[in-house]
Structure 1
Amino acid sequence: MNATPSSRPIVSAAELAEALAGPRPPVLLDVRYRLGGPHGRPDYDAGHIPGAVFVHLDAELAGTPGERGRHPLPDPAEFGAVMRRAGVSADRPVVAYDGDKGWGAARVWWLLRWTGHADVRVLDGGLGAWRGPLETSAPEPEPGDFVPRPGGLPLLTADTAGEFARSGLLLDARAGERYRGEVEPIDAVAGHIPGAASAPTTENLDAEGRFLAAEALTARFTALGAAEPGTEVGVYCGSGVSGAQQALALELAGFVPALYAGSWSEWSRDPARPVATGAERG
């Protein structure tokens, strides 16, 4: 399925600097996040792009961990309140950035798109690509008016993800060794959803941490079967964070993916759900 986004989901550092100097600057969201590590507030306080508002991924972009996984979708009303406090309005562009691999920034990009915001982009290359000044003081933005309306992007559940792996193309965005079940550093069970194909997010980026050109991404996902006639594409990861980065890469490549937000951390909690190991899709 081909995408028809209103604008590219990424923006270069030069384009961002120009937009910030223009008459309608975007809302800036700093979503620095480390898998399994401390959140990025200390890094934000040490230096961030002027005007950026810090958003805490675990506390503000996810619900309470539990049966729905480690990073379940936040309550839409609570998410909307967080975005309004950050200055997000329905008619104002938003740019999100992080410091590593685009995971945190893509999480808020996906959530805003899913809840109906039409103009959201991720800074390509993250903070490392920024060549402008940094500041240490936190801004106090005027409250925005954004009201979430879920349903703007396709979403999979545990029940539909298993069926999707059989009827469509379900991509596993985790590292290959986790997909194969050789290691599992976080969740209780190792392996992958039967029928899913391995597609690590690291292969979406170049050596400098920027997304590959759209043509290269299209070739990558086409080789995995995404362009087969009638094929719908879905993606999951460990807990729905890196999977959002994969969803962004798929959109760059021209596809409209469905995200399984609960991902492996939800799937593997239920012993009745099947688990595959090894390099084959199962």
Structure 2
Amino acid sequence: MDESVVVSPDWLAANRDRPDIRPVDVRDAWEFDAIGHVPGAASIPFDSYRDDSDADRGTLPGADAFASLLSAAGIGPGDTLVAYDDTHGVFAARLYLTALEYGHDDVRLLNGDYSAWSREYETTTAATEFEATNYEPHPLDREESPLVGREAVEAARERDALLVDTRERDEFAEAHLPGAVRFDWREAVDDETRRLLSEGDLEGLLESHGITRDQDIVLYCNTARRISHTYVVLRALGYEDVAVYEGSLTEWIAMDGEIETGAS
């Protein structure tokens, strides 16, 4: 699996003394303080990089707001961010996608989560102080960005792109985009180890759902959190033609988009 996208706890342990390696903990602040965290990690809670004015859809916070978070955490544009949570990586994947969208060159997901790290490596509750930076974001332009809007999804349907719904079966049965296939993001994670399945197992799993690397893929869920995890998985496997419908089903239904019902 591509280590420029996903890294193991072993990799982080071997590299975390490098000044450019910056673990980023996206759990709630109380978890960071009371339960513990990876030594040297910065706390950037998940709710802080969601748009407060658009809470229902959970859209991105805006480039300047995100840059302020990174500045306060002492992060510079040349740093390697390693995002983690304690929820199998789904919230950390959202930080991955957010940082990517705002032009951070090197951001990675910790394979596993805080629990996976703490089984093998040191944790701490000690506070870490960072010297603030003046982080300047460089948002991707439309051609570079993996994020797409409703019009692009309509165009994707016209060209028979593969729409992938990353939600649970009951949600899919209640409403989904016409023609979508369902791939629950949690299927990619081993519950016991809390890490992603092996590369071979992931490839086989995706193929069993009809998802292959030669396809034009558009991901959606409800509020763009779960698709972030699947996006990272596909990117780590080398899938190239993958788009993320940022508004997801919440926006689609609000704009009277056509839906289907029934289980996959």
Q: TM-score, normalised by structure 1?
A: 0.83
Tell me how far 1:265 sits from its aligned partner.
2.1
SS class of match (1:195)? coil
Size of the aligned set, in residue pairs, is 255
Counterpart check, 1:214 vs 2:199:
yes
- Quick one: distance in 2 between partners of 1:16 and 1:74? 28
**Structure 1 residues 132 and 262: alpha-carbon distance in aligned structure 2, compared to 1, 3 A threshold:** same
Q: Are the equivalent residues in 2 in contact too, given 1:90–1:145 (CA < 8 A)?
A: no
Kept after mapping to 2: 8 A contact 1:65/1:72: no
AA aligned to 1:279 is A
Q: Deviations over 1:143-164 (max 9, x none)?
A: 2344222225311112222432
Quote the residue 2:239 is aligned against.
Answer: 255
Give the structure 1 partner of residue 110 of structure 2. Answer: 123
Q: What one-letter code is carried by the residue in structure 2 that aligns with 1:154?
A: P
What SS is found at the alignment partner of 2:197? coil
Please list, as runs of the form range in 1=range in 2, the aligned pairs for 1:10-159 lying within 5 A after superposition.
Answer: 10-21=6-17, 23-32=18-27, 40-46=28-34, 47-58=36-47, 60-66=48-54, 69-130=56-117, 131-151=120-140, 152-159=144-151
> C-alpha offsets along residues 36-66 of structure 1, whole Å, 9 cap, x if unaligned?
xxxx2221111111121211222x2111354
Give the percent of matched residue pairs that are identical in Structure 1 and Structure 2: 29
Query: Where does residue 36 of structure 1 map in the other structure?
Result: none
Equivalent residues of 2:213, 2:239 under 8 A apart: no
CA pair 144-27 structure 1, distance change in 2 beyond 3 A: farther
Contact 1:53 1:138 in 2 (8 A): no
2:163 corresponds to 1:177: no
Aligned CA distance change for structure 1 residues 148 and 178 (closer, same or farther; 3 Å): same
Distance 1:15 1:111 in 2: 23
Q: Quote the Cα distance in structure 1 between the aligned partners of 2:237 and 2:208.
A: 12
Matched residue SS, 1:268: helix
Unaligned runs of 5+ in 1: 33-39, 182-190
Question: In 1, distance between residues paired with 2:213 and 2:43?
Answer: 40
Q: Cα deviations across residues 204-261 of structure 1 (Å, max 9, x unaligned)?
A: 11132211122222233334344375x3111111201111001011112221321112
Q: Deviations over 1:171-230 (max 9, x none)?
A: 11111111111xxxxxxxxx111122101001111132211122222233334344375x
Per the TM alignment, residue 103 of structure 1 is displaced from its structure 2 partner at its CA by 1.0
> What stretches of structure 2 of length at least 5 have no aligned partner?
none
Q: TM-score, normalised by structure 2?
A: 0.88
- Partners of 2:163 and 2:137 in 1: how far apart? 27
State the alpha-carbon separation in 2 of the partners of residues 53 and 24 from structure 1. 13
Structure 1 residues 75 and 145: CA distance shift in structure 2, 3 A: same
